[in-house]
């Protein structure tokens, strides 16, 4: 793997996730009550938990409001959740203020142009192969897995490997 994403991922202390197209495959299916149904991959969820176990804070910033996303965030213990946010840069700035982090210590994974203001400022940025071309061309790392199908886990593993935490975490499962 090229050193650039690894060296940038080494600095991540707060990892921020978009939802639609990242934690999900981006397809919207509406229930009879009008709410968009979401399908989340368990590998992604466990990757988020591994980040948290290693001391990395986690957050979600999403343009869509969703009770399902809030429930998933609660299940995973994601500490900072901002939903229904069209101005993602303002949400990012508020999150930095709230956590005391600098942009250089944040990672962000997103898939569409609405994510560019954060992706271009975060210390480490990632996208998915099915993300918009303008996004893929500007990030530090493009996953092999598609959104909603293990892309988040891939990024979590990369961060843990870059910070020399991955091997110890994997070893704990072999005891």
- pLDDT the model gives residue 114: 97
By the 8 A CB rule, do 14 and 107 touch?
yes
- pLDDT the model gives residue 1: 47
Residue ranges for the known binding site for substrate are 20
- pLDDT the model gives residue 2: 52
Low-confidence ranges of the chain (pLDDT < 70): 1-3
Q: What is the pLDDT of residues 54-88, one digit of tens each?
A: 999 999 999 998 889 999 999 999 999 999 989 99
Residue ranges for the known binding site are 18, 20, 111
By the 8 A CB rule, do 167 and 175 touch?
no
CATH of the domain at 30: 3.40.50.1000
pTM score: 0.95
Q: Which residues span the domain enclosing 115?
A: 3-172
Residue ranges for the known binding site for Mg(2+) are 18, 111
Strand 80-82 to 106-109 pairing: unpaired
- pLDDT the model gives residue 121: 98
Number of domains, the chain:
1
Interacting residues of 6 by C-beta distance below 8 A, sequence separation 6+? 158, 161, 162
């Amino acid at each position: 793997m090229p050193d650039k994403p690894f060296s940038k991922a080494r600095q991540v202390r707060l990892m921020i996730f978009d939802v639609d197209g990242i934690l999900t495959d981006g397809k919207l299916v509406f229930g009879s009550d009008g709410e968009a149904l979401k399908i989340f991959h368990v590998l992604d969820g466990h990757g988020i938990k591994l980040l948290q176990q290693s001391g990395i804070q986690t957050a979600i910033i999403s343009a869509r409001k969703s009770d399902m996303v809030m429930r998933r965030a609660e299940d995973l213990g994601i500490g900072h959740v901002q939903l229904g946010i069209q101005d993602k840069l303002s949400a990012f700035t508020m999150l930095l203020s709230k956590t005391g982090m600098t942009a250089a210590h944040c990672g962000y994974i997103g898939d569409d142009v609405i994510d560019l203001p954060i992706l271009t400022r975060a210390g480490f940025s990632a996208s998915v192969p099915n993300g918009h071309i303008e996004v893929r061309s500007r990030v530090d790392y493009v996953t092999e897995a598609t959104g909603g199908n293990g892309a988040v886990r891939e990024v979590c593993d990369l961060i843990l490997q870059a910070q020399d935490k991955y091997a110890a975490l994997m070893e704990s499962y072999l005891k």
